[in-house]
Amino acid sequence: MSSPGINHYLDAAKRATAWHAENIKKMRSCRFDTIAVHGIYSMQEALDFNQGSVIEPIYMSTSQAYRDADEMEAALGYQIPTWCYSRIANPSVYYLEGVLALLEGYGSDVETSCVVTSSGMSAIQSAVDPFLIIDRNKPNQPMNFVATTQVYGGTFQQFAIRKHQEKNIEWRKVINANNLDEWESLIDENTRFVYGEMPSNPGLGFFDLEKVAEIAHKHNLPLIIDSTVATPALLRPIQHGADIVVQSVTKSLFTSGFGICGAVISRKNITTNIDNPQMKADFAMYIKLLPNRDNGPNISPMNAILALNDIRTIRSRMDILSRNTLKVAHFLETHKHIQEVEYLGLESHPLYQLASKYLILADSETDDCYGKPFNRYGHLMSFLVKGDADKTRDVFNAFTRIWRGTDLGRIKSIATIPAISTHSQQGEEGRKLAGIPSNLIRLCVGAEHPDDVIKDIDQALSVLDGKKVFITSPEFSAGGASSATLRKDS
Ligand SMILES: *Cc1c(COP(=O)(O)O)cnc(C)c1O
């Protein structure tokens, strides 16, 4: 059978691309919740290509079949849109990328694109590595990057060990992110990017994003922001000048906790001193089609749709979770066994004013309940127990409703002791830099009634008055045997 020729496919691709662009443009004019619910999946696409499926289908297939050699060649040469091979592209993954790009770009007039990855850590690696490349004309030129020290423990390790120690790429540490001179003084001609996490996990570090973006851009550098804790429902850094946003989608976006997922979202035409026009024009698309094709940090289509399904309700969820957290924080503030409560929504927090400038519930000004821009501060908080590391462990061990785990963003309340979990690898010195004392408990308040969460914390704190703790025995789910409880005299 003779082929209709490559132009047949190129023309069809042009029509399809124009249709998709038009569809995305239409969605961009919708409100936040509408975008979150529908993303880029339309009724037309459902009826024409997906058996009318109301919910985005999960394409578990590894690869796509082609009509003939011409179509295959055009697809693999990226001349036409393609699903070719699921390490590179997959329709289900594309729906997730589409909705995240729109949500991070919401409220700004800049166009955004997104690539999702297997985890938040691979998103960070995907976002920073393209800037850490050797200039062939100056192979021995040193490289550095400027980043806050108040970052997620995994990020700290990636920067300190994988980059700085193993590759001799210097991490220039911003210790006090609220001192703008400090950011600027660390930048020189060998700097490749500027990076910050806000609010930071767990320390709730926060800085003046717009001012830091100005500093980065003045030096022709991109600003990369890890905005996991806020989610696009509360903060969209691109609107404030950031070039690239990384998300551990695993957390509040993917609240049901079914899987691990990361995302890189970028504005079109990022600022960078790397001479690579394609990368500059559409950073997320560039890393999707080239470096990530070759490195392979892709996500399963199953996980992509599970994440997508949670994202539909992100705005109302972040509203409820923030309200619950504020109530719990107020309770702890006056508790006799608490040394300090750290939550950006408390007026006593030194960064409350600054956080209030940036953390605003999307569309609150048109919401019947609020009718004006309304601050919501998310569901990450932490508190310092009055007492040493052992006392802190006793309180932690006494939780019955709040889960002990190194997780956050869940629909269920979860607590951890960062010093012995998320931030254990970086050692005492690293923890000091990141501001992680051993009596700090990180709590991520879920969607339970806040009074029940408060009740659980209150009874747990009463171990400091001499109450006994019960610990379930380590049966490791063997044979589904119900575990007995062991008594531990505290
Ligand atoms: C969890 C987390 C990450 C890492 O994401 P994973 O999905 O666990 O790989 C990065 N940044 C922040 C702020 C996080 O909380």
> Is 478 within a domain?
yes
Q: Are residues 344 and 356 in the same domain?
A: yes
- Ligand 1 atom, smallest distance to 201 CA: 13
60 vs 2, residue with greater confidence: 60
Domain that holds residue 123: 84-311
Q: Are residues 368 and 445 in the same domain?
A: yes
- Ligand 1 atom, smallest distance to 249 CA: 7
Q: Are residues 275 and 403 in the same domain?
A: no
Q: Domain with 94 in it: what CATH number?
A: 3.40.640.10
Q: Closest residue (by CA) to atom 6 of ligand 1? A: 120
> Is 26 within a domain?
no
CA of 98 to the centre of ligand 1 (A): 21
Q: Are residues 297 and 385 in the same domain?
A: no
pLDDT of res. 317: 98
pLDDT of res. 2: 72
pLDDT above 70 covers a percentage of the chain that reads: 96
Q: Are residues 279 and 399 in the same domain?
A: no
Q: Domain with 436 in it: what CATH number?
A: 3.90.1150.10
Residue 340 three-state SS: strand
Q: Are residues 167 and 204 in the same domain?
A: yes
- pLDDT greater than 70 at residue 124: yes
pLDDT 10s digits, 33-53 = 999 999 999 999 999 999 999
Q: Are residues 336 and 222 in the same domain?
A: no
Number of domains in the chain: 2
Q: Are residues 226 and 139 in the same domain?
A: yes
- Ligand 1 atom, smallest distance to 261 CA: 7
Stretch 340-344: mean pLDDT = 97
Q: Closest residue (by CA) to atom 9 of ligand 1? A: 120
- Ligand 1 atom, smallest distance to 262 CA: 7
CA of 120 to the centre of ligand 1 (A): 5
DSSP letter for 152, please: -
User: Looking at 292, 311, 330, which one is the last position of a domain?
Assistant: 311
Stretch 445-449: mean pLDDT = 98
Q: Are residues 283 and 322 in the same domain?
A: no
Q: Closest residue (by CA) to atom 12 of ligand 1? A: 152
> Is 6 within a domain?
no
CA of 74 to the centre of ligand 1 (A): 37
Stretch 77-95: mean pLDDT = 94
Alpha-carbon gap, residue 108 to 51, rounded angstroms = 35
pLDDT 10s digits, 184-216 = 999 999 999 999 999 999 889 999 999 999 999
Q: What is the pTM of this model?
A: 0.94
Alpha-carbon gap, residue 444 to 167, rounded angstroms = 35
Q: Pocket around ligand 1: residues whose beta carbon is below 6 Å from it?
A: 119-121, 152, 154-155, 197, 201, 226, 228-229, 248, 250-251, 260, 262
CA dihedral 249, 251, 252, 253 (to 10 degrees): 20
pLDDT of res. 490: 38
CA of 153 to the centre of ligand 1 (A): 8
> Is 199 within a domain?
yes
> Is 218 within a domain?
yes
The residue assigned the tokens 């996980």 is 303
> pLDDT-derived band of residue 3, with 50, 70 and 90 as boundaries?
confident
pLDDT 10s digits, 386-431 = 999 999 999 999 999 999 999 999 999 999 999 998 778 778 887 7
